[in-house]
């Protein structure tokens, strides 16, 4: 979810940008003359979908080869396929604006809308500005990708992976501060002015498609007025904020015990470098510092159980597939097992970051992972297969509808299945003999909350900052101040040392220079619990929500398949209603899931000064 791209992918982006600037100057097909007609719009859509489908397939094939066999040539081939796809999408998106005033049947009108919002970075039609934009995009990715912090003379320089490992493992606050500050300064050096111009050019491209700015285009992907969507996000956040506040208060108190009140003052924001993650987005790496005292241990370590049971990568994937078939879904095709990459090859460089693929937009489904036999990869497999089963279902739709109901749905579905990897499910697999006692729930839930609950405000901050920048509410001379104002307001964290407008701390998170929208992850962290609650209820599961599993439920499987088959053909409230019976996103399931933890946290927080100034 939040991992940066591999170095090879960043080289690919640089290759892409250089070639794209040239490609976009090629002649564009002549536009129709005279007033647009319904018949012309229909013909345009038929041709556009056929053209894009062919390009998507070629791009996926080239990208698969590049990701599983990294060479200079495969990177260039993948870049060329991506260039062609972007070029065609930009041309077709602009052409689609010709039909804005027509009264069209809803499926056609929806396809035109989806076509116009397909790109996250529409380039201006001016050739010089297009070239400038692609060059800036490549330069920012290159700046981030080349970033290495050198601790001092005679010490090895560290890339982001090594710095992340240090942040996760070290308990020396001075070492942590140096590494945190080093990455934030090195990875964004010279990026600030590039980003200011990037915003200007991206906004120009968005306005040519009829949007107020780039942020309005992004928010238009959610079947709501852009302003209404922001209001909806704030409503969801306020639902879960009391749970986050309790977690924040407890973690800060434990960190104060570890580091002392001079380093972690009570009643103040938590210093960002002490939470085990460069961006303070997930706190699981500090579990050993905050683990609950006086509660039962779960009594098992899943990694050890998997190893003892003789699991290998293939058996782990087979087990994940069996979860889906237990719901009544058809098995994956034989080509999945022939063409997927399950382990890291010995003879070549590959991109190990887990991903799910639908190469031919039909049934050539694959996953790409360097699987290790451990708990994390066991859960990840269930998540990635969720994407595959969703892809196969919506591939029955017309090309422009071959996607999730919104981008949060695709992420949430896989995470929903991962939530069903409960002790009850592990008993069914023979990996454990009995469920842990109820008083072990606190330890299990705290470990989950440090990642899933701690992430929620961070999931909002990145795009709230960018939307403010795109709209002009956050001017260039307040980029850094506005970033830390938002992190303070929502996360209750602060930089370890004073920061100024000489820095560009938002750029230290890949998704900012990489221009990757982030709101899908916030939505997925809300929706997965709503999906889990309503599917387990439909399956007849009772008892605490965090102990329920939909494994083996044909009723839950029918709901999931019906929703998946819709793809993006209907607004997401229709898909949500199909799955859950409700048309509204609801974060109350998050509160129900973590209710035992919330009660325990509030007991631990008695006498503490909670909140932050």
* Phi, psi angles (nearest 5°) of residue 54: -60, -45
Is residue 496 predicted with pLDDT exceeding 90?
yes
Tell me: pLDDT of 580 over 60.
Answer: yes
Strands (E), 202-336: 270-271
Residue 154: per-residue pLDDT? 81
Six-digit token string for 44 = 């345009």
DSSP for 371-439 reads --SSHHHHHHHHHHHHHHHHHHHHTTS-GGG-S-SSHHHHHHHHHHHHHT-SHHHHHHTTS-SSPPPGG
Q: Please tell me which residue in 390, 521, 551, 593 is annotated as part of the active site.
A: 521
Mean pLDDT across 198-226: 94
Question: Catalytic site residue 603?
Answer: no
pLDDT confidence of residue 29: 52
pLDDT, position 130: 86
* Residues 359, 391: Cα–Cα separation, whole Å: 10
Q: How far apart are CA 390 and CA 401, in angstroms?
A: 12
- Mean pLDDT over all residues of the chain? 92
Residue where the block lists tokens 């396929």 = 81
Residue of 353, 482, 558, 592 with catalytic role: 353
Q: Give backbone dihedrals phi and psi of 413, rounded to 5 degrees, phi first.
A: -60, -45
Instruction: Report how far residue 79's alpha carbon sits from residue 20's, in angstroms, rounded to the nearest whole number.
Output: 9
27 pLDDT more than 60? no
pLDDT tens string 445-460: 999 999 999 999 999 9
Q: How confident is the model over 582-610, as a mean pLDDT?
A: 96
Catalytic residue flag (residue 387): yes
pLDDT digits (tens, 9 = 90+) for 49-106: 999 999 999 999 999 998 899 888 988 888 888 878 888 998 999 999 999 999 999 9
Tell me the pLDDT tens digit for each residue of 306-336: 999 999 999 999 999 999 999 999 999 999 9
Burial of 203 (0-12, 13-18, 19+ CB in 10 A): buried
Q: Which of 184, 248, 383, 394 is catalytic?
A: 383
* pLDDT of amino acid 70: 86
What is residue 370's predicted lDDT score, i.e. its pLDDT?
93
Digit-coded pLDDT (tens) for 349-386: 888 888 999 999 999 999 999 999 998 899 999 999 99
DSSP tag of 487: I
Confidence bin at 21 (pLDDT 50/70/90): very low
Active site annotation includes 257: no
d(CA 280, CA 275): 6
Q: Is the pLDDT score of 9 beyond 50?
A: no
Nearest Cα to Cα of residue 1 among 332, 277, 192: 277
Whole-angstrom CA distances from 112 to 131, 256, 334, 337 are 26, 54, 36, 36
Is residue 8 scored above 60 in pLDDT? no
Residue 516 CB contacts under 8 Å (≥ 6 apart), including other chains? 120, 510
Residue 214's pLDDT is 96
pLDDT-derived band at 4 (thresholds 50, 70, 90) equals very low
- 384 catalytic per annotation: yes
Question: pLDDT tens for residues 270-314?
Answer: 999 999 999 999 999 999 999 998 887 777 889 999 999 999 999
Give catalytic status of residue 383 as yes or no.
yes
Q: Is 353 a catalytic residue?
A: yes
Per-residue model confidence (pLDDT) at position 30: 60
Judged against a pLDDT cut of 50, whether residue 18 lies above it is answered with: no
| Active-site residue identified among 184, 273, 387, 546 | 387
Query: Does the annotation mark 511 as catalytic?
Result: yes
Q: Write the DSSP string, 99-167.
A: GTTS---HHHHHHHHHHHTS-SSPPPSSHHHHHHHHHHHHHHHHHHHH--B--STTS--B-HHHHHHHH
pLDDT in tens, 130-170: 889 988 988 888 888 888 999 988 889 999 889 999 999 99
What average pLDDT does range 523-551 have in this prediction?
96
pLDDT band at 1 (very low <50, low <70, confident <90, very high): very low
Point out the catalytic residue in the list 184, 511, 532, 546: 511
Q: Which of 83, 84, 321, 411 is catalytic?
A: 411
Predicted confidence (pLDDT) at residue 348 exceeds the cutoff of 60:
yes
Go through the domains of the chain in sequence order and give each one's CATH number.
Answer: 7-141+194-211 (1.20.120), 150-186 (no CATH), 212-313+321-331+380-613 (1.10.1370)
Choose, from 84, 141, 321, 384, the residue flagged as catalytic. 384
Nearest to 395 by CA among 36, 90, 53: 53
């Amino acid at each position: 979810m939040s991992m940066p791209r591999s170095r090879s992918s960043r080289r690919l982006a640089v290759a892409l940008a250089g070639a794209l600037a040239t490609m976009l100057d090629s002649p564009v097909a002549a536009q129709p003359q005279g007033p647009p007609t319904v018949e012309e719009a229909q013909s345009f859509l038929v041709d556009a979908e056929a053209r894009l489908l062919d390009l998507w397939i070629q791009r996926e094939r080239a990208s698969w080869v590049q990701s599983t066999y990294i060479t200079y040539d495969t990177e260039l081939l993948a870049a060329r396929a991506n260039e062609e796809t972007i070029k065609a999408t930009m041309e077709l998106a602009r052409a689609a604006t010709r039909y804005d005033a027509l009264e069209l049947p809803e499926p056609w009108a929806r396809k035109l809308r989806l076509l116009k919002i397909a790109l996250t970075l529409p380039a201006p039609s001016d050739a010089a500005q297009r070239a400038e934009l692609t060059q800036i995009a490549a330069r920012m990715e290159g700046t981030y990708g080349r970033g290495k912090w050198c601790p001092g003379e005679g010490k090895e320089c560290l890339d982001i992976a090594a710095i992340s490992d240090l942040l996760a493992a070290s308990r020396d606050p001075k070492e942590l501060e140096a590494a945190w500050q080093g990455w934030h300064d090195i990875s964004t050096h010279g990026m600030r002015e590039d980003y200011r111009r990037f915003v200007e050019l991206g906004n120009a491209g968005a306005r040519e498609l009829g949007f107020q700015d780039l942020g309005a285009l992004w928010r238009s992907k959610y079947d709501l007025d852009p302003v209404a969507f922001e209001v909806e996000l704030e409503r969801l956040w306020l639902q879960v904020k009391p749970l986050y506040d309790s977690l924040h208060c407890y973690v800060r108190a434990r960190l104060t015990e570890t580091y002392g009140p001079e380093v972690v003052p009570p009643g103040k924001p938590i210093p960002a470098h002490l939470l085990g993650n460069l961006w303070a987005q997930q706190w699981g790496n500090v579990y050993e510092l905050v683990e609950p005292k006086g509660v039962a241990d779960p009594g098992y370590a899943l990694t050890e159980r998997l190893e003892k049971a003789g699991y290998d990568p293939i058996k782990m994937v087979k087990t994940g597939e069996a979860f889906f078939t237990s719901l009544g879904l058809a098995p994956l095709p034989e080509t999945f097992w022939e063409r997927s990459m399950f382990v890291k090859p010995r003879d070549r460089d590959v991109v190990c970051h887990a991903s799910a693929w639908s190469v031919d937009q039909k049934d050539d489904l694959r996953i790409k992972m360097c699987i290790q036999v451990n708990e994390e990869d066991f859960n990840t497999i269930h998540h990635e297969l969720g994407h595959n089963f969703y892809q196969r279902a919506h591939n029955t739709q017309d090309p422009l509808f071959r996607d999730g109901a919104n981008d949060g749905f695709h992420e949430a579905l896989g995470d929903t299945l991962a939530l069903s990897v409960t002790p009850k499910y592990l008993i069914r697999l023979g990996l454990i003999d009995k469920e842990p006692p109820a008083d072990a729930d606190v330890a299990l839930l705290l470990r989950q909350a440090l990642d899933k609950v701690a992430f929620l405000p961070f999931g909002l901050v990145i795009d709230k900052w960018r939307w403010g920048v795109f709209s002009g509410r956050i001017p260039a001379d307040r980029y850094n101040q506005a970033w830390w104002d938002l992190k303070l307001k929502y996360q209750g964290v602060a930089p370890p040392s004073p920061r100024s407008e000489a820095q560009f701390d938002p750029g230290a998170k890949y998704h900012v220079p990489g221009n990757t929208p982030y709101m899908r992850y916030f939505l997925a962290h809300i929706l997965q619990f709503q999906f889990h609650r309503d599917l387990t209820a439909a399956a007849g599961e009772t008892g605490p929500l965090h102990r329920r599993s939909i494994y083996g439920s044909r009723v839950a499987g029918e709901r999931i398949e019906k929703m998946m088959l819709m793809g993006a053909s209907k607004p997401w409230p229709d898909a949500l209603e199909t799955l859950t019976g409700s048309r509204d996103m609801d974060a109350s399931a998050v509160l129900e899931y973590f209710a035992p933890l919330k009660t325990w946290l509030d007991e631990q927080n008695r006498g503490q000064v909670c909140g932050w100034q």
